[in-house]
Amino acid sequence: KNEVEQSPQNLTAQEGEFITINCSYSVGISALHWLQQHPGGGIVSLFMLSSGKKKHGRLIATINIQEKHSSLHITASHPRDSAVYICAVRMNTGFQKLVFGTGTRLLVSP
Partner 1 sequence: DGGITQSPKYLFRKEGQNVTLSCEQNLNHDAMYWYRQDPGQGLRLIYYSQIVNDFQKGDIAEGYSVSREKKESFPLTVTSAQKNPTAFYLCASRNRGGGNNEQFFGPGTRLTVL
Task: List residues near partner 1 by CB under 8 A.
Answer: 2, 4, 30-31, 33, 35, 40-45, 48, 50, 86, 88, 90, 95, 97-103
Comparing CB distances to partner 1, the nearer of 20 and 37 is: 37
C-alpha 60: how far from chain center: 10
Task: Provide the minimum distance between the beta carbon of 45 and partner 1 in the complex, in angstroms, as a whole number.
Answer: 6
Phi, psi of 40 (to 5 degrees): -65, -20
Comparing CB distances to partner 1, the nearer of 26 and 30 is: 30
DSSP 53-96: EEEETTEEEEEETTTTEEEEEESS--GGG-EEEEEEEEESSTT-
Comparing CB distances to partner 1, the nearer of 72 and 77 is: 72
Helix (H, G, I), strand (E, B) or coil at 44: strand
Task: Provide the minimum distance between the beta carbon of 77 and partner 1 in the complex, in angstroms, as a whole number.
Answer: 24
Comparing CB distances to partner 1, the nearer of 74 and 88 is: 88
